[in-house]
Chains A and B, each alone.
Chain A
Amino acid sequence: MRFANKLSVSRSPLRKSAVMIGLVPVIMGALAFPVQAQDEEATGEWDFSGFAAMDLRVFPDSALHSGQRDQHLNPSLVLQPEVSYEWNDGDDRIDFIPFLRVDPQDSERRHADIRELKYLHIDDGWDLKVGVDKVFWGVTESRHLVDIINQTDAVEDVDGEDKLGQPMVNLGLQNEWGDVNFFVMPYFRERTFPGRKGRLRGSIPVDTDKAEYESDMEEFHPDLALRYATVLGDWDLGLAHFYGTSREPRLLARPDANGQITLIPRYDIINQSSVDVQATFDEWLWKLESIYRQGQGDDFFAVSGGVEYTFFGAIGDAGDLGLLAEYHYDGRDEDDAPATVFNDDIFVGARITLNDTADTDFLAGVVFDRLDHDKSFSIEANRRLDDHWTIEGELRLSDGISESSPIYDARRDDHLQVRLNYYF
Chain B
Amino acid sequence: MNKILLASVFSLSLAAFAGSLSSGSALADNSDPVAKGTAVAEEWDRRDQGFGDSEALMKMELENRHGEKSLREMRQQIFEIQEDGQGDKSLTVFDEPRDVKGTAFLSFAKTFDPDDQWLYLPALKRVKRISSKNKSGPFVGSEFAYEDLTAQELKKYTYTWLRDEPCGDLQCAVIEQTPVYEDSGYTRMVSWYDLSEYRQQKIDYYDRKNELLKTLTFGDYRQYLDKFWRSHDMYMVNHQTGKKTRLIFEKIEFQTGLQESDLTKNSLKRVN
Contact = CB atoms under 8 A, between A and B. Distances in A.
Contacts of A135: 125
Given A90-B272, A95-B272, A282-B131, A318 B99 contact: no
Given A2-B257, A318-B138, A359-B100, 17 more contacts: A1-B270, A2-B55, A2-B77, A2-B256, A5-B272, A90-B272, A125-B261, A280-B130, A310-B131, A312-B133, A317-B241, A318-B137, A355-B138, A355-B141, A358-B141, A384-B97, A387-B71
B230 interface: no
A6 B257 contact: no
B131 A357 contact: no
A1 B272 contact: yes
A387 B136 contact: no
Interface string B133-158: 11011101110000000000000000
* 4 A-B pairs closest in CB distance: A423-B98, A357-B141, A312-B134, A136-B125
A356 interface: yes
Interface residues of B, number: 50
Contacts of B12: none
B266 A179 contact: yes
A90 to B, nearest CB: 7
A37 interface: no
A384 B99 contact: yes
Contact of B97 (A84, A285, A387): A387
Contacts of A387: 70-71, 96-98
A55 interface: no
Nearest to B183: A312
B57 interface: yes
Contacts of B126: 136, 138
B70 A386 contact: yes
A285 B251 CA distance: 37
B73 interface: yes
A124 B264 CA distance: 13
Which residue, B64, B141, B267, has most C-beta atoms of chain A within 10 A? B141
B35 interface: no
Interface of A: 1-6, 47, 49, 51, 84, 86, 90, 93, 95, 120, 122, 124-125, 127, 134-136, 138-139, 161, 172, 174, 179, 229, 231, 236, 278, 280, 282-285, 310, 312-313, 317-318, 320, 355-359, 384, 386-388, 390, 421, 423-424
A199 B226 CA distance: 67
A134 B125 contact: yes
B131 A285 contact: yes
A136 B131 contact: no
Nearest to A235: B129
Given A136-B125, A313-B137, A357-B62, A423 B266 contact: no
A388 B98 contact: yes
A124 B267 CA distance: 11
A231 B141 CA distance: 29
Given A6-B73, A49-B98, A357-B141, A282 B114 contact: yes
B141 A359 contact: yes
Contacts of A312: 131, 133-134, 136-137, 183
Interface string B247-272: 00001000011100110111100111
B204 interface: no
B265 to A, nearest CB: 6
A84 B128 CA distance: 24
A45 to B, nearest CB: 10
Interface string B57-98: 100001010000011010101000000000000000101111
A421 B101 CA distance: 14
B133 A283 contact: yes
B133 A172 contact: no
A47 B75 CA distance: 15
A318 B137 CA distance: 6
A71 B136 CA distance: 49
A310 B133 contact: yes
B7 interface: no
B5 interface: no
B270 A122 contact: yes
22 contacts: A2-B256, A2-B258, A3-B55, A3-B77, A90-B272, A135-B125, A139-B128, A174-B261, A229-B266, A283-B131, A312-B137, A312-B183, A317-B241, A320-B134, A355-B137, A357-B141, A357-B142, A359-B141, A384-B97, A387-B70, A387-B98, A423-B98
Contacts of B225: none
B124 interface: yes
A4 to B, nearest CB: 7
Contact of B95 (A6, A161, A285, A356): A6
Contacts of A313: 134, 136-137
Contact of B270 (A127, A229, A284, A421): A127
A173 to B, nearest CB: 10
A312 B100 CA distance: 22
Contacts of A161: 124
Contacts of A124: 261
Contacts of A134: 125
Nearest to A6: B95
A377 B257 CA distance: 50
Contacts of A423: 97-99, 101
Nearest to B271: A1
B32 to A, nearest CB: 36
Contacts of B57: 4, 6
Nearest to A233: B116
A4 B96 CA distance: 15
A51 B55 contact: no
